[in-house]
Structures are given as structure tokens and as C-alpha cells.
Amino acid sequence: MILAVVPAAGLSTRMGRPKLTLPFGERTVIECVVAALRAAGVDHVLVVVAPDAAELNRLATDAGAHVHALGVQTPDMRATVEAGLAWLDEHLQPQADDAWLLVPADHPTMVPAVVRQLIDARRANPQRSIFVPVHGGQRGHPTLLAWQHAAGIRQAPGGTGLNTYIRRHAAETLEIETPDKAILCDLDTPADFERLQMRQA
């Protein structure tokens, strides 16, 4: 079983407005992310949203994702991801041979082919447990992790970010080269949004 955790509880401070509900092509940003994951064959997509994010909740649900609405605002992305992993543990009971994707919610240009590439790499390299797409020597998104790392992240010392956790498991990590430059795209500011829309046109 392949799962996906989409942390979507940020405040969009740099964007100045809720970025995940912005229109992107014929969909919204969050709908693009969920659609790409479903098209890639991911079994369950979980979007973790902030309290009182009714519109985002509706959009993600209508796109075919599970939604976990937080009771209180989380302090950082790791806490949001941990909340999502706990929800998956409780509701779907993943097993040791399952895996999960860590997927930024503000990644509307993600394509199913990259996700499939990571899944195929995991099947071909069972001795590795973390798979990261790379373009031009730079790591991008999303990251595929064996389910065992859900517990590892929860047990990591306080203050350990997700990128730090992954770097500490370098021996278990396999970088997957992809021609898709979109794995490096972030959507943080109005300028980022404008640039991605122009690229999409």
C-alpha cells in the first residue's frame, strides 16, 4: 500500500492569501496535488488542514482525498506531518511493507510520472527505504519513505526537521534522477505563483 501525507496547515504568510485554494489551470492548487497522486496510483491521500479551513477541506475531499482537520494549529511542518501519520496509523493501519509519500501541498506542477518513478525505484531497490527525486544535482519533491520512518520521525529529538531526519539516514536513501525540473518548484510568494502559471500556460 502506498499512502501520501499532504501537510496543508500553513498560514500562507508570504503569499498574503490562502494559496492552496488559488486557481491553477482548471483546478485549484490542492486539487492539482491530489489529482496527480491519484493518477500515479497512490492508494490513499491524506490532506492535513488547519482548524477552520472549511474551503480547503471541501476541495480536498471532493478531489478524492481523506482530510484530517487539526484541533489546534501546529507549530511547524513536522508537527503537521506527525499528526497525519498518527491519523493514518489509526484509520488505515499501515504495515511494515507499506510506504508513504511526503508531499508539499503547494506543489501543483507535480506530475504522476515522478511519483511512479519513485514507487518503481522502491520495488527495484528493497534495501533502501527513502527515495528522493533529483534534478540537476538538487533534491526536490515528493519523497517516498518506508512506513518504518513514520515511527522514526515521531521518535526523533525535538527540533529535528524533516529534511534533517532524511539527511541523517543517508545510507538508506536513494536519489532518483528525473528530467522534470518541476520537482524543484516552490509556491511561496505571489511572484512564484505568477511564474508557475506562466510555465503552465
Q: What is the dihedral of CA 192, 193, 196, 198, to 10 degrees?
A: -110
pLDDT, mean of residues 151-168: 91
Distance CA 167, CA 165 (A): 6
Q: Go through the domains of the chain in sequence order and give each one's CATH number.
A: 2-200 (3.90.550.10)
pLDDT, mean of residues 62-71: 96
pLDDT, mean of residues 159-175: 94
**Per-residue model confidence (pLDDT) at position 10:** 76
pTM recorded for the entire structure? 0.92
